Structure 1
Amino acid sequence: MIHLAAQYLAAAGISFLDEKDDDSHTNLGFDTKNGFLETWPLNEKGGKLALDYQLFSLHWINKQTIETTLNLDGKTHDEIIKWITEITKNLSPNKSYKYNLHYELPYEKITDGFIFSKPQVNELNKMLSYRTIAQHVLEDVVDKMKMKTTFRIWPHHFDTGGYESFNSDNNISVGCGMAIPDNMINDFYLYTAGYKGHDGIDISKFEPLTIGNWMNEGFKGAVLNMKDVDETKAKNFFNESIEKYSVL
Protein backbone atom coordinates (compact mmCIF):
# COMPACT_ATOMS: atom_id res chain seq x y z
CA MET A 1 0.00 0.00 0.00
CA ILE A 2 2.77 2.46 0.88
CA HIS A 3 4.76 1.62 -2.25
CA LEU A 4 1.68 2.10 -4.42
CA ALA A 5 0.71 5.33 -2.64
CA ALA A 6 4.21 6.72 -3.21
CA GLN A 7 3.64 6.47 -6.96
CA TYR A 8 1.30 9.47 -6.81
CA LEU A 9 4.31 11.51 -5.69
CA ALA A 10 6.52 10.07 -8.41
CA ALA A 11 3.85 10.88 -10.99
CA ALA A 12 3.83 14.49 -9.75
CA GLY A 13 7.57 14.72 -10.43
CA ILE A 14 7.06 13.25 -13.89
CA SER A 15 4.19 15.67 -14.57
CA PHE A 16 5.71 18.95 -13.41
CA LEU A 17 9.51 18.69 -13.29
CA ASP A 18 12.05 18.70 -16.10
CA GLU A 19 13.11 15.18 -17.02
CA LYS A 20 16.54 14.07 -15.78
CA ASP A 21 18.65 11.41 -17.48
CA ASP A 22 19.09 9.53 -14.19
CA ASP A 23 15.34 9.75 -13.42
CA SER A 24 16.07 11.77 -10.29
CA HIS A 25 13.10 14.08 -10.97
CA THR A 26 10.92 11.19 -9.80
CA ASN A 27 12.75 10.39 -6.57
CA LEU A 28 11.52 11.39 -3.13
CA GLY A 29 12.90 12.94 0.01
CA PHE A 30 12.17 11.64 3.48
CA ASP A 31 11.28 14.03 6.30
CA THR A 32 12.42 12.14 9.39
CA LYS A 33 10.83 14.66 11.76
CA ASN A 34 7.30 14.24 10.39
CA GLY A 35 7.55 10.81 8.79
CA PHE A 36 6.70 12.09 5.30
CA LEU A 37 7.84 11.07 1.85
CA GLU A 38 8.02 14.27 -0.22
CA THR A 39 8.43 15.28 -3.85
CA TRP A 40 10.96 17.84 -4.95
CA PRO A 41 9.44 21.35 -4.91
CA LEU A 42 6.99 21.38 -7.81
CA ASN A 43 6.88 25.15 -8.30
CA GLU A 44 8.81 28.29 -7.39
CA LYS A 45 6.81 28.61 -4.14
CA GLY A 46 8.07 25.26 -2.92
CA GLY A 47 4.80 23.36 -3.22
CA LYS A 48 5.19 19.64 -2.51
CA LEU A 49 3.05 16.53 -2.45
CA ALA A 50 3.76 14.38 0.61
CA LEU A 51 2.79 10.93 1.88
CA ASP A 52 2.28 10.67 5.64
CA TYR A 53 3.14 7.15 6.87
CA GLN A 54 1.31 7.23 10.20
CA LEU A 55 -1.88 8.89 8.96
CA PHE A 56 -1.77 7.05 5.60
CA SER A 57 -2.66 10.35 3.95
CA LEU A 58 -1.50 12.64 1.19
CA HIS A 59 -0.71 16.27 2.09
CA TRP A 60 -0.29 19.29 -0.12
CA ILE A 61 2.46 21.34 1.51
CA ASN A 62 3.10 24.98 0.60
CA LYS A 63 5.84 27.00 2.29
CA GLN A 64 6.35 24.21 4.86
CA THR A 65 2.65 24.34 5.83
CA ILE A 66 0.11 21.59 5.19
CA GLU A 67 -2.69 23.24 3.23
CA THR A 68 -4.94 20.26 2.53
CA THR A 69 -5.01 16.52 3.23
CA LEU A 70 -6.58 13.43 1.72
CA ASN A 71 -6.98 10.31 3.86
CA LEU A 72 -6.21 7.37 1.57
CA ASP A 73 -8.02 4.66 3.52
CA GLY A 74 -11.07 3.60 1.49
CA LYS A 75 -10.29 5.92 -1.42
CA THR A 76 -10.19 4.67 -4.99
CA HIS A 77 -7.37 5.32 -7.41
CA ASP A 78 -9.73 7.50 -9.44
CA GLU A 79 -10.71 9.61 -6.42
CA ILE A 80 -7.06 10.18 -5.54
CA ILE A 81 -6.19 11.23 -9.10
CA LYS A 82 -9.07 13.72 -9.13
CA TRP A 83 -7.98 15.20 -5.77
CA ILE A 84 -4.37 15.68 -6.87
CA THR A 85 -5.46 17.10 -10.24
CA GLU A 86 -7.64 19.65 -8.47
CA ILE A 87 -5.03 20.85 -5.96
CA THR A 88 -2.36 21.15 -8.68
CA LYS A 89 -4.52 22.70 -11.41
CA ASN A 90 -2.92 26.13 -10.97
CA LEU A 91 0.62 24.82 -10.47
CA SER A 92 1.76 25.36 -14.06
CA PRO A 93 0.27 27.20 -17.05
CA ASN A 94 1.19 24.42 -19.48
CA LYS A 95 1.45 21.25 -17.38
CA SER A 96 -1.13 19.16 -15.55
CA TYR A 97 -1.04 16.15 -13.27
CA LYS A 98 -0.97 12.81 -15.08
CA TYR A 99 -0.57 9.38 -13.53
CA ASN A 100 1.71 8.07 -16.24
CA LEU A 101 4.59 5.96 -14.93
CA HIS A 102 7.35 4.94 -17.35
CA TYR A 103 8.42 1.87 -15.35
CA GLU A 104 6.76 -1.35 -14.23
CA LEU A 105 5.93 -2.11 -10.60
CA PRO A 106 5.92 -5.64 -9.12
CA TYR A 107 2.14 -5.58 -8.71
CA GLU A 108 -0.90 -5.90 -10.91
CA LYS A 109 -1.56 -2.70 -12.82
CA ILE A 110 -3.67 -0.34 -10.75
CA THR A 111 -7.18 0.43 -12.05
CA ASP A 112 -9.56 3.33 -11.45
CA GLY A 113 -11.60 1.30 -8.98
CA PHE A 114 -8.64 0.05 -6.93
CA ILE A 115 -9.36 0.80 -3.26
CA PHE A 116 -6.60 1.68 -0.80
CA SER A 117 -6.74 0.22 2.70
CA LYS A 118 -4.64 1.44 5.60
CA PRO A 119 -1.96 -1.06 6.71
CA GLN A 120 -1.89 -2.22 10.32
CA VAL A 121 -0.47 0.38 12.70
CA ASN A 122 2.38 -1.90 13.77
CA GLU A 123 3.39 -2.37 10.11
CA LEU A 124 3.31 1.37 9.45
CA ASN A 125 5.38 2.02 12.57
CA LYS A 126 7.92 -0.62 11.54
CA MET A 127 8.31 0.82 8.04
CA LEU A 128 8.56 4.35 9.42
CA SER A 129 11.18 3.27 11.97
CA TYR A 130 13.28 1.54 9.30
CA ARG A 131 13.16 4.56 6.95
CA THR A 132 14.13 6.86 9.81
CA ILE A 133 17.07 4.72 10.93
CA ALA A 134 18.32 4.41 7.35
CA GLN A 135 18.04 8.14 6.63
CA HIS A 136 19.71 9.24 9.87
CA VAL A 137 22.55 6.75 9.55
CA LEU A 138 23.24 7.36 5.87
CA GLU A 139 23.33 11.12 6.40
CA ASP A 140 25.80 10.56 9.26
CA VAL A 141 27.97 8.32 7.06
CA VAL A 142 28.01 10.95 4.30
CA ASP A 143 29.10 13.58 6.80
CA LYS A 144 31.80 11.48 8.47
CA MET A 145 33.24 10.16 5.19
CA LYS A 146 32.88 13.53 3.44
CA MET A 147 30.84 11.98 0.64
CA LYS A 148 28.88 14.11 -1.84
CA THR A 149 25.89 11.87 -2.46
CA THR A 150 22.39 12.53 -1.12
CA PHE A 151 20.01 9.75 -0.14
CA ARG A 152 16.59 9.70 -1.75
CA ILE A 153 13.81 7.15 -2.16
CA TRP A 154 13.61 5.79 -5.69
CA PRO A 155 9.96 4.99 -6.45
CA HIS A 156 10.55 2.04 -8.77
CA HIS A 157 12.41 -0.27 -6.36
CA PHE A 158 11.42 1.88 -3.35
CA ASP A 159 14.89 1.81 -1.84
CA THR A 160 16.53 4.59 0.11
CA GLY A 161 19.73 4.90 -1.87
CA GLY A 162 22.76 6.92 -2.86
CA TYR A 163 25.81 6.46 -5.07
CA GLU A 164 29.38 7.69 -4.62
CA SER A 165 32.56 7.56 -6.73
CA PHE A 166 35.63 6.89 -4.57
CA ASN A 167 38.55 6.40 -6.90
CA SER A 168 38.31 7.96 -10.35
CA ASP A 169 41.66 6.45 -11.42
CA ASN A 170 40.46 2.90 -10.69
CA ASN A 171 36.85 3.68 -11.64
CA ILE A 172 35.55 2.52 -8.24
CA SER A 173 32.11 3.53 -6.97
CA VAL A 174 29.73 2.41 -4.23
CA GLY A 175 25.97 2.30 -3.92
CA CYS A 176 24.39 1.94 -0.49
CA GLY A 177 21.04 2.25 1.18
CA MET A 178 18.02 0.32 2.44
CA ALA A 179 15.91 -2.00 0.29
CA ILE A 180 12.39 -3.32 0.79
CA PRO A 181 11.69 -7.10 0.81
CA ASP A 182 12.49 -8.69 -2.55
CA ASN A 183 13.42 -12.00 -4.17
CA MET A 184 16.84 -11.95 -2.50
CA ILE A 185 15.82 -11.18 1.11
CA ASN A 186 12.23 -11.37 2.33
CA ASP A 187 12.57 -8.43 4.70
CA PHE A 188 13.86 -4.86 4.77
CA TYR A 189 17.65 -4.81 4.62
CA LEU A 190 20.62 -2.46 4.41
CA TYR A 191 23.03 -2.92 1.53
CA THR A 192 26.39 -1.77 0.18
CA ALA A 193 27.59 -2.68 -3.31
CA GLY A 194 30.87 -1.74 -4.99
CA TYR A 195 31.44 -1.35 -8.72
CA LYS A 196 34.43 -1.12 -11.03
CA GLY A 197 32.93 0.69 -13.97
CA HIS A 198 29.55 -0.98 -14.43
CA ASP A 199 30.60 -4.36 -13.05
CA GLY A 200 30.03 -5.54 -9.49
CA ILE A 201 33.25 -6.06 -7.55
CA ASP A 202 34.08 -9.65 -6.54
CA ILE A 203 34.12 -9.73 -2.74
CA SER A 204 35.17 -13.39 -2.33
CA LYS A 205 38.54 -12.39 -0.84
CA PHE A 206 37.16 -9.73 1.53
CA GLU A 207 37.43 -10.39 5.26
CA PRO A 208 34.09 -11.25 6.95
CA LEU A 209 32.14 -8.28 8.31
CA THR A 210 31.74 -7.69 12.03
CA ILE A 211 28.03 -7.14 11.41
CA GLY A 212 26.17 -8.19 8.25
CA ASN A 213 27.25 -10.55 5.48
CA TRP A 214 28.95 -10.41 2.10
CA MET A 215 27.09 -11.86 -0.88
CA ASN A 216 28.76 -12.76 -4.17
CA GLU A 217 26.14 -14.62 -6.23
CA GLY A 218 24.04 -12.34 -8.44
CA PHE A 219 24.15 -9.38 -6.09
CA LYS A 220 27.74 -8.62 -5.10
CA GLY A 221 28.01 -6.68 -1.88
CA ALA A 222 27.11 -6.53 1.80
CA VAL A 223 23.67 -6.93 3.38
CA LEU A 224 22.21 -6.57 6.86
CA ASN A 225 18.66 -7.56 7.74
CA MET A 226 16.89 -4.62 9.41
CA LYS A 227 15.26 -6.78 12.09
CA ASP A 228 16.60 -5.73 15.51
CA VAL A 229 18.97 -3.17 13.93
CA ASP A 230 19.43 0.16 15.70
CA GLU A 231 21.34 3.22 14.49
CA THR A 232 24.60 2.11 16.10
CA LYS A 233 24.56 -1.28 14.36
CA ALA A 234 23.58 0.32 11.07
CA LYS A 235 26.44 2.84 11.30
CA ASN A 236 28.92 0.08 12.01
CA PHE A 237 27.67 -1.90 9.02
CA PHE A 238 27.94 1.00 6.57
CA ASN A 239 31.24 2.32 7.89
CA GLU A 240 32.88 -1.10 7.70
CA SER A 241 31.47 -2.22 4.35
CA ILE A 242 32.00 1.11 2.55
CA GLU A 243 35.56 1.34 3.89
CA LYS A 244 36.42 -1.94 2.11
CA TYR A 245 35.66 -0.34 -1.25
CA SER A 246 37.05 3.13 -0.53
CA VAL A 247 40.60 1.79 -0.17
CA LEU A 248 40.66 -0.30 -3.37
Structure 2
Amino acid sequence: MDTLVQVHLASQYLATAGKSFLEPKADDSHTNLGFFTNDSALRTWDLDEMGTFLAFQYDNFALKWVAKNKADVFTLKGKSHDQIVEWISKMALTSKLNKPYTYNLHYDLPYSIGDDFKFESPKPEELQRLLHLRTRSQNALKSFLQKESLESDIRIWPHHFDTGAFSVLNDGSGKSIGLGLAIPDSLVDEHYFYIGGYHEHGSIDTSAFKTLTHGEWKNDGFKGGILRASDASESKAVLFFQEALSFYN
Protein backbone atom coordinates (compact mmCIF):
# COMPACT_ATOMS: atom_id res chain seq x y z
CA MET A 1 0.00 0.00 0.00
CA ASP A 2 1.24 3.48 -0.84
CA THR A 3 2.93 5.15 2.13
CA LEU A 4 1.04 8.43 1.66
CA VAL A 5 -2.26 6.52 1.74
CA GLN A 6 -1.27 4.81 4.99
CA VAL A 7 -0.23 8.09 6.64
CA HIS A 8 -3.44 9.78 5.45
CA LEU A 9 -5.50 6.94 6.89
CA ALA A 10 -3.54 7.06 10.15
CA SER A 11 -4.36 10.76 10.47
CA GLN A 12 -8.07 9.95 10.48
CA TYR A 13 -7.76 8.51 13.99
CA LEU A 14 -6.57 11.93 15.14
CA ALA A 15 -9.37 13.70 13.26
CA THR A 16 -12.02 11.44 14.77
CA ALA A 17 -10.51 11.96 18.22
CA GLY A 18 -11.05 15.70 17.74
CA LYS A 19 -14.57 15.01 16.55
CA SER A 20 -15.26 12.71 19.50
CA PHE A 21 -13.94 14.84 22.35
CA LEU A 22 -14.06 18.51 21.30
CA GLU A 23 -16.94 20.90 20.88
CA PRO A 24 -17.83 21.04 17.17
CA LYS A 25 -17.02 24.17 15.18
CA ALA A 26 -18.84 25.31 12.07
CA ASP A 27 -15.68 25.28 9.96
CA ASP A 28 -14.72 21.79 11.18
CA SER A 29 -11.48 23.14 12.63
CA HIS A 30 -11.86 21.02 15.77
CA THR A 31 -10.83 18.03 13.62
CA ASN A 32 -7.74 19.59 12.03
CA LEU A 33 -4.21 18.79 13.10
CA GLY A 34 -0.98 20.54 13.97
CA PHE A 35 2.44 19.47 12.75
CA PHE A 36 5.27 19.70 15.25
CA THR A 37 8.74 19.75 13.76
CA ASN A 38 10.44 19.12 17.11
CA ASP A 39 9.05 15.58 17.37
CA SER A 40 8.14 14.90 13.71
CA ALA A 41 4.50 14.36 14.54
CA LEU A 42 0.95 15.31 13.69
CA ARG A 43 -1.08 16.22 16.75
CA THR A 44 -4.69 16.91 17.71
CA TRP A 45 -5.76 19.99 19.60
CA ASP A 46 -5.68 19.39 23.34
CA LEU A 47 -8.58 17.06 24.06
CA ASP A 48 -9.20 18.28 27.62
CA GLU A 49 -8.09 20.98 30.04
CA MET A 50 -5.21 18.77 31.18
CA GLY A 51 -3.49 18.92 27.79
CA THR A 52 -4.27 15.36 26.67
CA PHE A 53 -3.61 14.78 22.97
CA LEU A 54 -3.25 12.07 20.33
CA ALA A 55 -0.33 12.21 17.87
CA PHE A 56 0.96 10.36 14.83
CA GLN A 57 4.72 9.94 14.75
CA TYR A 58 6.30 9.71 11.31
CA ASP A 59 9.65 8.35 12.50
CA ASN A 60 8.31 5.15 14.06
CA PHE A 61 4.94 4.97 12.25
CA ALA A 62 3.00 4.94 15.50
CA LEU A 63 0.23 6.67 17.40
CA LYS A 64 1.12 8.34 20.69
CA TRP A 65 -1.35 9.20 23.45
CA VAL A 66 -0.08 11.81 25.90
CA ALA A 67 -1.92 12.51 29.18
CA LYS A 68 -0.58 14.05 32.38
CA ASN A 69 2.95 14.01 30.90
CA LYS A 70 2.79 10.25 30.39
CA ALA A 71 3.05 8.86 26.86
CA ASP A 72 1.71 5.56 25.53
CA VAL A 73 2.91 4.53 22.05
CA PHE A 74 1.02 2.17 19.74
CA THR A 75 2.90 0.97 16.65
CA LEU A 76 0.65 0.72 13.59
CA LYS A 77 2.53 -1.95 11.62
CA GLY A 78 0.31 -5.04 11.30
CA LYS A 79 -2.52 -3.53 13.34
CA SER A 80 -6.15 -3.74 12.28
CA HIS A 81 -8.68 -0.94 12.43
CA ASP A 82 -10.52 -2.61 15.32
CA GLN A 83 -7.32 -2.95 17.34
CA ILE A 84 -6.57 0.76 16.92
CA VAL A 85 -10.09 1.84 17.86
CA GLU A 86 -9.92 -0.40 20.93
CA TRP A 87 -6.58 1.11 22.00
CA ILE A 88 -7.74 4.72 21.59
CA SER A 89 -10.96 3.93 23.47
CA LYS A 90 -8.91 2.44 26.30
CA MET A 91 -6.63 5.48 26.43
CA ALA A 92 -9.60 7.85 26.52
CA LEU A 93 -11.19 5.87 29.35
CA THR A 94 -7.93 5.80 31.31
CA SER A 95 -7.57 9.55 30.82
CA LYS A 96 -11.14 10.06 32.06
CA LEU A 97 -12.32 12.00 29.04
CA ASN A 98 -15.99 12.86 29.34
CA LYS A 99 -17.06 11.26 26.04
CA PRO A 100 -16.40 7.90 24.35
CA TYR A 101 -14.19 7.65 21.29
CA THR A 102 -16.02 6.96 18.02
CA TYR A 103 -14.46 6.48 14.59
CA ASN A 104 -17.00 8.22 12.41
CA LEU A 105 -15.87 10.14 9.33
CA HIS A 106 -18.25 12.80 7.98
CA TYR A 107 -16.54 13.02 4.58
CA ASP A 108 -15.46 10.58 1.89
CA LEU A 109 -11.86 9.64 1.24
CA PRO A 110 -10.56 8.19 -2.05
CA TYR A 111 -9.72 4.98 -0.14
CA SER A 112 -11.32 3.18 2.76
CA ILE A 113 -10.65 0.84 5.66
CA GLY A 114 -12.32 -2.53 5.12
CA ASP A 115 -12.96 -5.33 7.61
CA ASP A 116 -9.70 -7.08 6.66
CA PHE A 117 -7.58 -3.92 6.64
CA LYS A 118 -4.21 -3.90 8.36
CA PHE A 119 -1.48 -1.31 8.25
CA GLU A 120 1.64 -2.45 6.45
CA SER A 121 5.27 -1.56 7.13
CA PRO A 122 6.05 1.52 5.04
CA LYS A 123 9.52 2.06 3.60
CA PRO A 124 11.57 4.27 5.96
CA GLU A 125 12.80 6.40 3.07
CA GLU A 126 9.21 7.12 2.00
CA LEU A 127 8.21 8.12 5.52
CA GLN A 128 11.24 10.42 5.65
CA ARG A 129 10.32 11.97 2.29
CA LEU A 130 6.79 12.73 3.51
CA LEU A 131 8.16 14.04 6.80
CA HIS A 132 10.55 16.32 4.92
CA LEU A 133 7.68 17.69 2.83
CA ARG A 134 5.63 18.50 5.94
CA THR A 135 8.63 20.12 7.60
CA ARG A 136 9.49 22.17 4.51
CA SER A 137 5.92 23.38 4.13
CA GLN A 138 5.57 24.23 7.84
CA ASN A 139 8.77 26.26 7.81
CA ALA A 140 7.98 27.97 4.49
CA LEU A 141 4.51 29.03 5.62
CA LYS A 142 5.79 30.26 8.98
CA SER A 143 8.56 32.27 7.28
CA PHE A 144 6.19 33.77 4.69
CA LEU A 145 3.62 34.83 7.27
CA GLN A 146 6.29 36.48 9.40
CA LYS A 147 7.87 38.30 6.44
CA GLU A 148 4.49 39.64 5.29
CA SER A 149 3.20 40.43 8.81
CA LEU A 150 0.20 38.14 8.28
CA GLU A 151 -1.46 36.02 10.95
CA SER A 152 -2.78 32.48 10.62
CA ASP A 153 -2.68 29.10 12.29
CA ILE A 154 -0.87 26.53 10.18
CA ARG A 155 -2.98 23.38 10.24
CA ILE A 156 -3.41 20.09 8.41
CA TRP A 157 -6.97 19.42 7.27
CA PRO A 158 -7.60 15.66 7.44
CA HIS A 159 -10.00 15.45 4.49
CA HIS A 160 -7.69 16.75 1.75
CA PHE A 161 -4.59 16.32 3.95
CA ASP A 162 -3.10 19.67 3.00
CA THR A 163 -0.95 21.84 5.22
CA GLY A 164 -2.78 25.15 5.02
CA ALA A 165 -2.96 28.73 6.23
CA PHE A 166 -5.57 31.44 5.67
CA SER A 167 -5.17 35.13 6.29
CA VAL A 168 -6.98 38.38 5.59
CA LEU A 169 -4.65 40.88 3.91
CA ASN A 170 -3.77 43.88 6.02
CA ASP A 171 -4.07 46.44 3.19
CA GLY A 172 -7.74 47.24 3.81
CA SER A 173 -8.85 45.68 0.52
CA GLY A 174 -11.01 43.01 2.14
CA LYS A 175 -9.10 40.35 0.22
CA SER A 176 -7.79 37.17 1.79
CA ILE A 177 -5.43 34.38 0.77
CA GLY A 178 -5.35 30.64 1.30
CA LEU A 179 -2.05 28.86 0.82
CA GLY A 180 -0.18 25.73 1.70
CA LEU A 181 1.05 22.33 0.52
CA ALA A 182 -1.35 19.88 -1.15
CA ILE A 183 -0.94 16.16 -1.73
CA PRO A 184 -1.17 14.78 -5.30
CA ASP A 185 -4.63 15.20 -6.82
CA SER A 186 -6.40 15.79 -10.14
CA LEU A 187 -4.68 19.17 -10.51
CA VAL A 188 -1.07 18.05 -10.00
CA ASP A 189 0.35 14.52 -9.90
CA GLU A 190 2.73 15.24 -7.01
CA HIS A 191 2.83 17.33 -3.84
CA TYR A 192 2.62 21.03 -4.64
CA PHE A 193 2.55 24.42 -3.01
CA TYR A 194 -0.51 26.54 -3.74
CA ILE A 195 -1.86 30.03 -3.11
CA GLY A 196 -5.22 31.55 -4.04
CA GLY A 197 -6.84 34.92 -3.43
CA TYR A 198 -10.44 35.59 -2.38
CA HIS A 199 -12.69 38.63 -2.25
CA GLU A 200 -16.28 38.74 -1.06
CA HIS A 201 -16.35 34.92 -0.78
CA GLY A 202 -15.30 34.43 -4.41
CA SER A 203 -11.99 33.27 -5.92
CA ILE A 204 -9.95 35.98 -7.64
CA ASP A 205 -9.42 35.41 -11.37
CA THR A 206 -5.75 34.98 -12.33
CA SER A 207 -6.05 34.99 -16.13
CA ALA A 208 -4.69 38.54 -16.48
CA PHE A 209 -1.78 38.06 -14.05
CA LYS A 210 1.79 38.17 -15.35
CA THR A 211 3.81 34.96 -15.48
CA LEU A 212 5.32 33.81 -12.18
CA THR A 213 9.09 33.45 -11.85
CA HIS A 214 8.54 30.21 -9.95
CA GLY A 215 5.42 28.10 -10.52
CA GLU A 216 2.42 28.86 -12.69
CA TRP A 217 -1.07 30.31 -12.51
CA LYS A 218 -4.18 28.17 -12.78
CA ASN A 219 -7.63 29.50 -13.58
CA ASP A 220 -9.74 26.44 -14.37
CA GLY A 221 -11.48 25.12 -11.25
CA PHE A 222 -8.76 26.20 -8.84
CA LYS A 223 -7.86 29.85 -9.34
CA GLY A 224 -4.40 30.58 -8.02
CA GLY A 225 -0.72 29.75 -8.26
CA ILE A 226 0.94 26.37 -7.93
CA LEU A 227 4.54 25.23 -7.55
CA ARG A 228 5.55 21.59 -7.72
CA ALA A 229 7.24 20.53 -4.49
CA SER A 230 9.96 18.70 -6.43
CA ASP A 231 10.96 22.09 -7.89
CA ALA A 232 10.92 23.94 -4.58
CA SER A 233 13.32 24.34 -1.72
CA GLU A 234 12.01 26.04 1.40
CA SER A 235 13.38 29.40 0.28
CA LYS A 236 11.95 29.04 -3.24
CA ALA A 237 8.52 28.22 -1.79
CA VAL A 238 8.67 31.44 0.26
CA LEU A 239 9.62 33.44 -2.85
CA PHE A 240 6.75 31.81 -4.74
CA PHE A 241 4.25 32.82 -2.04
CA GLN A 242 5.66 36.35 -1.87
CA GLU A 243 5.60 36.94 -5.61
CA ALA A 244 2.08 35.55 -5.94
CA LEU A 245 0.91 37.72 -3.05
CA SER A 246 2.16 40.83 -4.86
CA PHE A 247 -0.42 40.25 -7.59
CA TYR A 248 -3.25 40.20 -5.06
CA ASN A 249 -2.20 43.41 -3.28
Residue 164 of structure 1: which of 152, 164, 167 is its match? 167
Q: TM-score, normalised by structure 1?
A: 0.94
CA distance in 2, matches of 1:93, 1:182: 37
CA distance in 2, matches of 1:207, 1:73: 48
- C-alpha distance in 1 between matches for 2:196 and 2:231: 22
Q: Which amino acid aligns with 2:33?
A: L
Distance 2:210 2:149 in 1: 24
Aligned to 2:16: 11
Which position in structure 2 is the counterpart of 1:21? 26
Indicate yes or no: 2:148 matched with 1:145. yes
Cross-structure match for 1:199: 202
| Aligned residues of 2:216 and 2:227 also touching (Cα < 8 A) | yes
| Contact residue 167 and residue 177 of structure 2 kept, 8 A | yes
Report which stretch shifted further, 118-127 or 180-189.
118-127
Q: What amino acid is the match of 1:79?
A: Q
State yes or no: 1:133 paired with 2:131: no
Deviations along 1:154-181, whole A, 9 cap, x unmatched? 0000000111122686431110000000
Aligned partner of 1:113 in structure 2 is 116
- Counterpart for residue 51 of structure 1: 56
> Partners in 2 of 1:85 and 1:112 — Cα distance?
18
Q: Is the 8 A contact 1:192 1:241 kept in 2?
A: yes
Aligned amino acid, residue 220 of structure 1: K
Q: Which amino acid counterpart does residue 230 of structure 1 have in structure 2?
A: S
What is the CA deviation profile of residues 222-248 of structure 1, one whole-angstrom value per residue up to 9, with x for unaligned ones?
000001421111111111112221x1x
Partner of 2:3: none
The 3-state SS of whatever aligns with 2:164 is: strand
Instruction: Kindly indicate whether residue 229 of structure 2 is the aligned counterpart of residue 226 of structure 1.
Output: yes
Q: Distance in 2 between matches of 1:102 and 1:47?
A: 23
TM-score under structure 2 normalisation?
A: 0.93
1:95 counterpart residue number: 99
Question: Residues 35 and 128 of structure 1 are in contact (CA less than 8 Å); yes or no, is this contact kept in structure 2?
Answer: yes
CA RMSD of aligned residues (A): 1.5
Matched-pair contact (CA < 8 Å) for 2:177–2:198: yes
What CA distance in whole angstroms lies between the structure 2 residues aligned with 1:161 and 1:153? 6
**SS across alignment from 1:89:** helix
- The one of 209, 213, 223 aligned to 2:212: 209
Residue 45 of structure 2 aligns to a residue whose secondary structure is: coil
- May I ask how many residue pairs the two structures share in their alignment? 244
The 2-side partners of 1:66 and 1:180 are apart by 33
Moved over 3 A (4+): 90-94, 167-171
* Shift in Å, 1:91: 3.8
Unaligned regions of 5+ residues in structure 1, if any?
Answer: none
Alpha-carbon separation, structure 2, partners of 1:244 and 1:217:
18
Over 3 Å counting, the alpha-carbon distance change for 1:200 and 1:22 in structure 2 is: same
- Separation in 2 of the partners of 1:164 and 1:202? 18
Residues 11-68 of structure 1 deviation map (CA, whole Å, 9 limit, x = unaligned): 00000000001100000000112110000011111111000112110011235x5511
Alignment partner of 1:164: what SS? strand
Structure-2 change in CA distance of 1:180 and 1:93 (3 Å): closer
Q: Hey, what does 1:42 align to over in structure 2?
A: 47
Q: Tell which deviates more after alignment, 73-82 or 88-97.
A: 88-97
Does the alignment pair 1:77 with 2:52?
no
**Counterpart residue type for residue 30 of structure 1:** F
Instruction: Report the secondary structure of 1:75's partner residue.
Output: coil
